[in-house]
Amino acid sequence: MSRVLPVNVMSVDVEEHFHVAAFDGRFPRDAWASQPSRVEANTGRLLDLFAAHGVSATFFVLGWVAERHPSLARRIVDAGHELASHGYAHEPAFRQTREQFADDARRSKAVLEDASGRPVLGYRAASFSIVKRNQWAFEELERAGYVYSSSVNPVRHDIYGFPDAPRFNFTPAGTGLLECPVTTLEIAGVRVPCGGGGYFRLLPYPLFRWALRQVNGGGHACYFYLHPWEVDPDQPRVEGVSWRSRFRHYTNLRRTEQRLARLLGDFRWTRFDRLLGLAAS
């Protein structure tokens, strides 16, 4: 007899193809407005795919994007998804002062709530940038009115990572906030990232699926994430970045949509607010 496995969370970090940590320095903020925008069309592809599979997801939308595409937030909630915040300007939390971080978190929440007419409960920091040394960010998120966050990747990584954070939901000290770290698998005491993004595109799909099944088999929900630009193989190529950044950003873009379709069919998915019992509907 087979056991009922946990329901997982599907999430999307809604940003442009040039809002990426790997391209840091190539696209200063004042150059964003002059770049071709691809986010609306790419998010539309994901909305179509989720609709085809009957999946509801959480969309962490950048405030800067919602301001330029006011109908996008509406379109996301009208399609039955949860709207949450990816901050305003995609600045990693560890590069902001506490005050800057608080302002950015509040500004994005206000923009998204205005655009959608719905309360925004969830937050995801750019590049999973809540780490050991800036845990004050959790207090600022709670103060800004957020209820949960999914801003920690509890692994070692060259850009982000909070390797000694809990692997599963925890309440940061001194707050009433719930942090939902992106999914990892622990093998022989080593944490292996398997929550999405580049790992989803770079690992063979059966291996990735095996990893998520291991986590589900242990009784835990998986928290998966991807970006709209990952289903856009025709995006303009950025020159002059390191081979590692190019590899991370461009490998297997052409296969991602097909892989995602398999993932949607192979597991059960929902939105963060529903999994956490926060949703009104």
Per-residue contact string for residues 125-144; x = within reach of Zn ion by CB under 5 A: -x------------------
Whichever of 27 and 216 has its CB closer to Zn ion, that residue is: 27
Longest Cα–Cα distance of the chain, Å, equals 58
Per-residue contact string for residues 108-127; x = within reach of Zn ion by CB under 5 A: ------------------x-
| Size, binding site for Zn ion by CB under 5 A | 3
What angle, rounded to 10 degrees, do the helices at 253-266 and 39-53 form?
Answer: 30
Are the C-beta atoms of 98 and 140 separated by less than 8 Å?
Answer: yes
Nearest to residue 11, comparing CAs of 203, 165, 149?
Answer: 149
Whichever of 93 and 126 has its CB closer to Zn ion, that residue is: 126
Rounding to the nearest 10 degrees, give the CA dihedral for residues 252, 254, 259, 261.
160
Min separation Cβ 168 and Zn ion, Å: 22
What angle, rounded to 10 degrees, do the helices at 98-116 and 70-78 form?
Answer: 70
Whichever of 15 and 104 has its CB closer to Zn ion, that residue is: 15
**Which residues is 191 bridged to in the sheet?**
186
Question: 73: which 2 tokens?
Answer: 């937030």
Task: List CB contacts of 125: < 8 A, sequence separation 6 or more.
Answer: 87, 92, 93, 137, 149, 151
Per-residue contact string for residues 14-53; x = within reach of Zn ion by CB under 5 A: -x--------------------------------------
Stretch touching Zn ion by CB under 5 A, among 6-14, 76-84, 195-203, 235-243? 6-14
Beta pairing class for 8-14 and 82-85: unpaired
Stretch touching Zn ion by CB under 5 A, among 13-21, 34-42, 102-110, 248-256? 13-21
- Of residues 9, 12, 13, 182, which one binds Zn ion by CB under 5 A? 13
- The answer to whether 104 contacts Zn ion (rule: CB under 5 A) is no
Min separation Cβ 11 and Zn ion, Å: 11
Whichever of 13 and 104 has its CB closer to Zn ion, that residue is: 13
CA distance linking residue 52 with residue 219, whole number of Å: 27
Residue nearest to Zn ion (CB): 13
Footprint of Zn ion (CB under 5 A): 13, 15, 126
